[in-house]
Structure 1
């Protein structure tokens, strides 16, 4: 058993994410048998003294049948209406199913603000901590009734990665209708299943697709992105089929395991690198990229070649290399209007009041290795 799988199998605290396609059927709403099977696997793991937070999609899918909708609607208003009906159905189904094991569930509905805004992030952290201390199983979903971009882009995989770090989980399990990551379309018999992802090089050249059910909005692309986010922050991840939840949650069998890379980031640095919203971009030359990414140095004005966005001192900005790849994120020390006169100039050319770092190393998180 790999180190990543052992960590998940022995974890004291796990985040489990399940997709819409694993819980609902087009036209029929929630599939009670599938939901009960998932709860069976979670309850068995909870009986081993593991605390679990469940991030569950399916609210929109659960609202289709009650509203006589044959397929996932395309327009936002109908999606929100389906979510409004479906959230109640989903919460009730989980309460009933977990009740078979005398387990109490608590519904936690989040929007992007709850993980993007630092104060909200900390409030959510306290709520989860208290629910878990009281022995409840938090069931998390994006608040699709009021969300906009979240519905269109399907962000519950990313949300699960953020929640995993927020609650200081020991592992993340992403369950869907696909039994892991393949080097091509899994419906093609010639493709190969990737069992372990030890580092970024294991993902080179892969083409990952979407769920085949038509109900989910994420697919393997969002799962791999979420797995990379969690793994980069020090959390091992398992992508597996919901139908194999018992094996995945019991002994971390099957699926694709992503190994944790390096040490776990602090809550603030994780929020800065992966949760906070970005207000602009600073374009860096190759020398500045090497200093920021490889040597973990502060960003100086001399290494900046351009500025995009509308930001003020104290906002979070992306740092991009000459190939337009985001290589780091940080808190900028200047307003956007102040920077054009500073960029490309060395510190000794600047007045004393402008010689400070544009992004200090303490407020900067590299997002790729040098």
Structure 2
């Protein structure tokens, strides 16, 4: 029998399960009914035990590729989005068939980064997901790949799973993968061993995880570790486990020593601030003086034009930018209120003009 963890996630009452492309498709890219059935049987068992379940499902693009006769993952955005449009319905049909035959209704929820960054969209997404769970349904979340751009290129839903875990205030996030968990080096390397518990994601761990991605999905271990960091900021524990392992979800929920376990390390932060920190690519940098650095990093203040010393890069109002101190050290990231040209004209000016409001700013 597998050993039990010191910090058991077995008390989890609300669990987000991310199922990656490699865990639900066969070699030809089509959804694999048998693999999906063994996952849904476990999900239904947890649901009958009183656990609220949210599924984050990849695989739409892979399913669409097979239906459209595409042998390789497309590199151009229109074809990727077309494949997603074809594959999403096929994927949802199978989820619904397997879950609703014995259990609760399922709901399709399509999100983009924009839905989390924009406050009104975030509130609507949170309210919808909460109400679905109250009604006993199982939400199945995917990125809205037919309109997404940056998301479709990166992450295989790992990051969105972490953000969903924050939105619904989950107790546990399970990332089902095509590997047993996180290893000390590449799993094919002689002597590589599984890390059963990771307290901190170190630079060395990130470097060892930066290896290739699968042919059908877009994620890899590096994107999963980034998702872990997001979830950790959200106060959510995470387990990365092998999706094909029989009973993996049940064992994880019961606190058995399966996969790699990452204890939650911090109080929850707002999902919207997490998107600011992790999702939008920084379009430029704002260099600030020492007084502004202290005000932002320790005083929970907005960044004012008076404290700006230089503007680097070209960006528009609403873009994400990095805030750096006098020595070039990264201080924060936020959504800027001015485009780069206008900001360059007002740097150092008095009058309290807010370059980045504190609600749009995340100290790093």
Q: Would you call these one fold, judging by a TM-score over 0.5? A: yes
Q: Following TM superposition, by how much is the alpha carbon of 1:217 offset from its aligned partner in structure 2, in angstroms?
A: 0.7
Distance 2:330 2:224 in 1: 20
Counterpart position of 2:41: 40
Query: TM-score of the superposition, structure 2-length normalised?
Result: 0.85
Answering whether residue 310 of structure 2 is matched by residue 310 of structure 1, we say no
- Please give the secondary structure, in 2, of the residue aligned with 1:30: coil
2:12–2:253 contact (8 Å) kept in structure 1: no
Q: Following TM superposition, by how much is the alpha carbon of 1:259 offset from its aligned partner in structure 2, in angstroms?
A: 2.3
Distance 1:69 1:155 in 2: 19
- Please give the secondary structure, in 2, of the residue aligned with 1:11: coil
Counterpart position of 1:125: 126
Answering whether residue 258 of structure 2 is matched by residue 261 of structure 1, we say no
The unaligned stretches of length 5 or more in structure 1 are: none
1:41–1:249 contact (8 Å) kept in structure 2: no
Answering whether residue 187 of structure 2 is matched by residue 186 of structure 1, we say yes
| Segment drifting more, 280-289 vs 49-58 | 280-289
CA offsets, 1:258-308, max 9 Å, x none? 222221113554454445676643124677556644665654656544224
Aligned residues: 357
Aligned 1:1-370 pairs, distance under 5 A: 2=5, 5-6=7-8, 8-27=9-28, 29-201=30-202, 203=204, 206-210=207-211, 213-244=214-245, 245-246=248-249, 247-251=251-255, 253-267=257-271, 269-274=273-278, 280-284=284-288, 289=293, 292-293=296-297, 299=303, 304-307=308-311, 308-312=313-317, 317-321=321-325, 326-330=330-334, 332=336, 336-337=340-341, 339-340=343-344, 343=347, 351=350, 354-355=351-352, 358-359=355-356, 364-367=361-364
- Please give the secondary structure, in 2, of the residue aligned with 1:248: helix
Q: Following TM superposition, by how much is the alpha carbon of 1:181 offset from its aligned partner in structure 2, in angstroms?
A: 1.2
1:283–1:305 contact (8 Å) kept in structure 2: yes
Residues 136/232 of structure 1: CA separation in 2 closer, same or farther (3 Å cut): same
1:299–1:361 contact (8 Å) kept in structure 2: yes
Query: TM-score of the superposition, structure 1-length normalised?
Result: 0.83
CA offsets, 1:294-351, max 9 Å, x none? 6656546565442244344x775432357867542235566645544664x5xxxx54
The unaligned stretches of length 5 or more in structure 2 are: none
Distance 2:83 2:360 in 1: 41
Root-mean-square deviation over aligned CA pairs: 3.1
Residues 357/27 of structure 1: CA separation in 2 closer, same or farther (3 Å cut): closer
2:143–2:157 contact (8 Å) kept in structure 1: yes
Distance 1:301 1:73 in 2: 44
Distance 2:123 2:316 in 1: 23
Residues 64/133 of structure 1: CA separation in 2 closer, same or farther (3 Å cut): same
| Segment drifting more, 282-291 vs 90-99 | 282-291
2:286–2:324 contact (8 Å) kept in structure 1: yes
- Please give the secondary structure, in 2, of the residue aligned with 1:173: strand
